[in-house]
Structure 1
Amino acid sequence: MSRYVSTTFRSLRHRAYRLYFTGQIVSTVGTWAQKVAQAWLILDLTGSGTLLGVTVGLQQAPTLLLTPWAGIIADRIDRRRMLLWTNWAAAVPAAAMGLLVLVDRATVPVIMLLAIVIGVVEAFDKPVRHTFAADVVPTEDVTNAVTLNATMFNAGKILGPAAAGIAISSVGVAATFLFNVLSFLVMVMALTRIRADEIRPRDIRPKERGALRSGVAYARRTPVIAATLLLMTVTGLVAYEWNTAVPLLAREFSSDAAMIGYFFAAMGAGAVVGSLSLAGILVAVPRTFLAAGTVFAVVLGLVSLAPSTGLALVAMFVLGAVATTFRALATSLVQLESDAAVRGRMVSLLIMAINGTSPVSGPLIGWMSEAHGARVAIRIGAAISLGAALVTWRYLARAVPERLSAAERGASNMSEDGECHSSAA
């Protein structure tokens, strides 16, 4: 048992990662609490699933437009400094939202405008936040660190919505937004305590013409990265839009704000259990990634068929475990398959695939849920995701059949200096 625990949490042996992990837990709790509060505020003001989807889409639109450039910046500058900037910046719209609710001046147009501001900050934060973990652990611990990050993210998905549900019912929506402000400050404190010598040195790329174009070309000529981005784009378009789908599904079972928190918490609890169960043994290879994508689609379909609240919460628990494993494998695979010099850009493309599709998927799922019910919208997403997983299996079986071998033990070829390089790079 002790050996399993030490293997599962081995990245926490590194002081810098412990600080980063701890700060991220608090910040993620605040972020998820704000997401629930924002969704509840929109539904309380309008009762419209379409407007909720539009708001989520507007918040994610900067991810689609700006994240590729943010990935280039993440490859060029000190990532810790960039994280400090984004956390300070993210506290501003959270504070504005809380104060507007306090003085009863929060309207749908204002909420949408602040959602766009939040989205701009997130567009620059996501590539560096996802890649910074790889900077503070040895190469052999990258997959473990990414998986623990997923665990942390989903622990926030449990605690944040639960805290938001209690706060909305007891002290009001404004307190939830203001708590998120404090959570960003905790993250800033953690980052300032990380020493420069605890960050793994890397080559900082100088400014170059066509950096974005060369990054896209790199992804296209690397089959595993291309396939991962393709599958995550499709699932991002039709399924991976929890900020719209989960609140609407929860409202089909109850109009109580707490039910949204319960659904998010059930999903988060499953994600934590799944992540912790697999953190010590999970290997990011194409075969396990594709298997996770297939199972994800099947479980998502089962969620849409749950006949009662209790069974729906159980299904959400299982979905959380599978969805987190699927995303963690995608994140690890992209990082391990790419050169350190382009890793920020590759992760930014992955973030675009998952979150940058929200300007389309948010309104689409919101409209379909409003017209036909959330269950139908989720069921359609599950069917399309399953088809995409099967197509991706077929593509990789033709492009790199050796990478789908059951005997494969590594996620990528390792160079002599310990960095990861794709065989097709």
Structure 2
Amino acid sequence: MTATVDAPAPRSTFASLRVRNYRFFAAGQIVSLAGTWMQRVAQDWLVLDLSGGSATALGIAAALQFSPTLVLSLWGGVLADRLDKRRALIVLQTGMGVCALVLGTAVVTGVVALWHVYLLCLLLGCFSALDVPVRQAFVPELVGDAQLGNAVALNSLTFNLARIVGPSVAGVLIAVTGTGWVFLINAASFAAVIAGLALMDPARLHRVTPVPRAPGQLREGLRYVRGRPDLVAVLALVFLVSTFGINFYLTLALLARNVFGLGADAYGLLTTLLAVGSVGGAVLAARRLRRPRLRLVTGAALAFGVLVTLAGLMPTYLLTGVVMVPLGFAALTFTTAANSAVQLSVEPAMRGRVMGLYILLFLGGTPVGAPLLGLLAESWGGRSPLVLGGVVTVASVLVVTLVLVCRGGGPRALLRREPSLG
């Protein structure tokens, strides 16, 4: 139910910012995401300090933080459909802020131990696994379906800008003040998100009536997706591309160090060029993306697969860097189009559960794909993970397209919302 609808401006790059509630949301996200990226860098550095440089300890911390996604993201989607999303986000964001505050205080006071970091990584991972599906499902309530594609693209733009700025600021702060103050700054950044959520006008939200609590709602969501071949196609692509293709922290590090014999600065430059392409893709998507068709999702995935393969075959570091910009552009276009297509094609009452599955497939494949790609690199060299990721992506697009054509659809089709569930 919507009391007030803000006037759309579909061709403006920043159309969603004309919506008052979305402005509050976006402002909080800009501050908080920069703080989150700062904490990621500081946390890794702290673990290395406390463990004497142990790569195993670093891997344990990462596993504790990201494994809850495998267990809780689907239930986060159920909560998104059951609860008032704005209030749920205030609670979850507060929990994440408290985790940063406790860790920062422990470091500044000198009482921190490695097990403290492990425990707080696990708690933060649990809050985050529940937060992401709720936050994704909340975006349509902020702007409505007409501007959802624009809002998703602006969210991606914010994320990538934070990914560029946050680590750079963290590096300077760690050198000047140590890791503790970085955690405390991140804790303070959550106040911006919570304030933005609290200041929103509930009457201007495009609210969806919460689903009453009932047994079997998670299974109901999975059955809903299974009955939608178009959704299955997009979600299958999301899983395969994210598992084997979007593993840049691993594949680019191997390429820079093991193939070209260069250092961390060369790896950093590749990731920066990738982020620049992602920002460009986000700006274009924000201006053009309204109701993505399957052909945009599959076309972007195909372009991504070809570019990943080229990146793995480039003979020099310079040429690899050149490929990074369009590669980032294609990756961002695919993820934004897929996210928007899924959200716009499902019933509002099912949106939280479907997005919980989306997040599980998008992030949950990393613990599976990363070890496999690492083993492949050990046997076949540092180029092989990129080449395999590209080949798997291209093959996935061809298979998905063939299946859709056989079912009477095809990549030219528009994902369609099913008739109302109630």
Q: One fold, TM greater than 0.5?
A: yes
Structure 1 position 206 matched with structure 2 position 212: yes
Kept after mapping to 1: 8 A contact 2:230/2:415 = no
Residue 197 of structure 1: how far off its partner (Å): 0.8
Structure 1 position 281 matched with structure 2 position 278: no
Q: Which of 31, 38, 43 is the aligned partner of 1:26? A: 31
Structure 1 position 235 matched with structure 2 position 232: no
Residue 242 of structure 1: how far off its partner (Å): 4.2
Residue 196 of structure 1: how far off its partner (Å): 0.9
Kept after mapping to 2: 8 A contact 1:222/1:424 = no
Identity %: 34
What letter is aligned with 2:208?
R
Extract unaligned runs of 5+ from structure 2: 1-8
Kept after mapping to 2: 8 A contact 1:9/1:280 = yes
SS across alignment from 1:279: helix
Kept after mapping to 2: 8 A contact 1:11/1:17 = yes
Residue 291 of structure 1: how far off its partner (Å): 0.7
**Which residue does 1:66 correspond to in 2?**
72
Per-residue CA shift, 1:33-65, capped at 9, x if unaligned? 222333455567576767655543332211111
Kept after mapping to 2: 8 A contact 1:27/1:180 = yes
**Which residue does 1:417 correspond to in 2?**
none
Kept after mapping to 2: 8 A contact 1:53/1:366 = no
Which structure exhibits the higher relative contact order, with contacts defined as CA atoms closer than 8 Å and separated by 6 or more residues? 1
Kept after mapping to 2: 8 A contact 1:303/1:315 = yes
**Which residue does 1:268 correspond to in 2?**
275
Q: Which of 416, 421, 424 is the aligned partner of 2:418? A: 421
Kept after mapping to 2: 8 A contact 1:161/1:262 = no
Q: TM-score, normalised by structure 1?
A: 0.86
Per-residue CA shift, 1:177-232, capped at 9, x if unaligned? 33221221211111111111121121211012111111011101101111111111
SS across alignment from 2:206: coil
What letter is aligned with 2:167?
P
SS across alignment from 2:356: helix
SS across alignment from 1:287: helix
Kept after mapping to 1: 8 A contact 2:285/2:336 = no
Residue 265 of structure 1: how far off its partner (Å): 3.2
**Which residue does 1:35 correspond to in 2?**
40
Q: How does 1:164-179 map to 2 (within 5 A)?
A: 164-179=170-185
What letter is aligned with 1:148?
L
Kept after mapping to 2: 8 A contact 1:57/1:363 = no
**Which residue does 1:416 correspond to in 2?**
none
Alpha-carbon separation, structure 2, partners of 1:50 and 1:233: 27
* Superposed CA RMSD: 3.1
**Which residue does 2:387 correspond to in 1?**
379
Alpha-carbon separation, structure 2, partners of 1:308 and 1:106: 44
Kept after mapping to 2: 8 A contact 1:50/1:363 = no
CA change 1:54–1:317 in 2 (3 A) is farther
**Which residue does 1:121 correspond to in 2?**
127
Extract unaligned runs of 5+ from structure 1: 413-419
What letter is aligned with 2:17?
L
Q: How does 1:2-401 map to 2 (within 5 A)?
A: 7-41=12-46, 52-53=58-59, 55-102=61-108, 110-245=116-251, 254-256=262-264, 261-282=268-289, 283-307=291-315, 309-366=317-374, 368=376, 374-401=382-409
CA change 1:49–1:138 in 2 (3 A) is same
Alpha-carbon separation, structure 2, partners of 1:295 and 1:328: 14
SS across alignment from 2:12: helix
